[in-house]
């Protein structure tokens, strides 16, 4: 089963060859750790169409175009691969995820939802939301298996006072469905980030690689 390259040799090695098809991969971290850049880059570098659900307004066609041009790729062709959805609230996000069942087909290699919890965190009734979140994840998993494509679930973090650390939002709901989990963090050195493998189907947990964010996107340090 061919995996989707991240464009980073060290990150691909950490992930056992790249982003797996047929499962959900969660990528989480604080603001400006490279989550969106990584998701866009994976869509940019791999064959097949990309369904990109942008809930935060973070997807930038200009940024994608620059990344493509810096890598010697045809920017217009790259942009045409991406189908962008911009749900404005959690209810609309539910409709968009359901709508993917009528849009996605064998020509797609990737679905991104960036992020799955930005609308979730402003809603009040978390118990019913967790049920709905689980249903959305189940649809995404069904699509991943049916069309042998990769799904990247981008997630935000919150500060957990009990553990005195940053935790992924809706940790248990997402953790139940996502087989691979990657955490991105900032370092004090400008532009340098780390990726930590928190869970993987066959690789040992806790592996760490360093990467940098440039005009090309994400690159090895």
Q: What does the CA dihedral 182, 188, 190, 195 come to, rounded to 10 degrees?
A: -10
Q: Is CATH 3.10.50.40 the right assignment for the domain spanning 9-220?
A: no
Residues in CB range of 170: below 8 A, 6 or more apart:
116, 117, 120, 130, 133, 155
Measured in whole angstroms, the distance separating CA 80 from the mean position of its chain's CA atoms is: 19
Output the pLDDT for position 1.
Answer: 60
Low-confidence stretches of the chain (pLDDT beneath 50):
none
Burial class (CB in 10 A: 0-12, 13-18, 19+), 40: buried
Output the pLDDT for position 58.
Answer: 94
Contact 59, 114 (CB under 8 A): yes
Would you state the structure tokens that stand for residue 18, as one six-digit string?
Answer: 């790249």
Output the pLDDT for position 118.
Answer: 86
Q: What is the pLDDT of residues 30-66, one digit of tens each?
A: 999 999 999 999 999 999 999 999 999 999 999 999 9
Number of other residues whose CB lies within 10 A of the CB of residue 107: 11
For the question of whether the overall pTM of this predicted structure is more than 0.85, the answer is yes
């Amino acid at each position: 089963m061919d995996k989707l390259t991240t464009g980073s040799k060290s990150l691909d090695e950490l992930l056992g060859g790249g982003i797996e098809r047929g499962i959900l991969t969660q990528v989480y971290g604080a603001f400006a750790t490279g989550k969106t850049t990584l998701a866009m880059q994976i869509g940019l570098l791999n064959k097949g169409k990309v369904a990109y659900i942008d809930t935060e307004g973070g997807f930038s066609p200009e940024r994608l175009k620059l990344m493509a041009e810096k890598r010697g790729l045809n920017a217009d062709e790259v942009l045409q691969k991406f189908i962008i959805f911009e749900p404005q609230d959690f209810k609309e996000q539910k409709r968009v995820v359901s709508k993917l069942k009528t849009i996605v087909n064998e020509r797609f290699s990737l679905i991104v939802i960036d992020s799955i919890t930005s609308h979730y965190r402003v809603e009040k009734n978390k118990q019913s939301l967790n049920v709905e979140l689980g249903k959305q994840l189940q649809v995404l998993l069904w699509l991943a298996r049916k069309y042998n494509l990769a799904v990247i679930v981008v997630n935000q973090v919150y500060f957990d006072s009990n553990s005195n650390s940053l935790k992924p939002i809706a940790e248990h709901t997402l953790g139940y469905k996502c087989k691979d989990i990657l955490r991105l963090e900032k370092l004090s050195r400008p532009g340098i980030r780390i990726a930590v493998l928190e869970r993987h189907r066959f690789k040992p947990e806790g592996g760490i690689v360093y990467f940098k964010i440039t005009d090309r996107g994400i690159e090895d340090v």
